[in-house]
Amino acid sequence: MNKELIYTLLIFLAVQSTVWFQTNGQFVWNWFKDHPFTLSLFGIPISLGYIYGTKFAYSAFEGMLWPGRLLCFAMGIFSFTILTNYFMGESISLKVALSLILATALVCIQVFWK
């Protein structure tokens, strides 16, 4: 696994997790519910994260955009599942488990299929 791919995965996981807190924190903490404008200011660093994650993915996959987009999607599924379970207590249903399997398959296809 090359350096650009590792950066891609870490950046996309970080920004997807940050977006979870930005949008769903309102259901966990009152401060988040009471300060939507302040939370919206995190959109700038989140956007930069997506820009740099896409840049590293583009490099890692030799000029192809689709693999990075699918990795970003999969990192969102992983982070959403973990954070929603931890903070909201939503269990992993059969439907969610199958979605996680599909997200894992997407990552494996993009990373290992040459």
pLDDT tens sequence across 18-51: 999 999 999 999 999 999 999 999 999 999 999 9
Q: Are 111 and 5 in contact (CB under 8 A)?
A: yes
User: Can you give the pLDDT at residue 74?
Assistant: 87
The reply to whether the predicted model has a pTM over 0.75 is yes
Per DSSP (E only), the strands in 1-114 are: none
Distance from chain centroid for Cα 50 = 10
Helix (H, G, I), strand (E, B) or coil at 41: coil
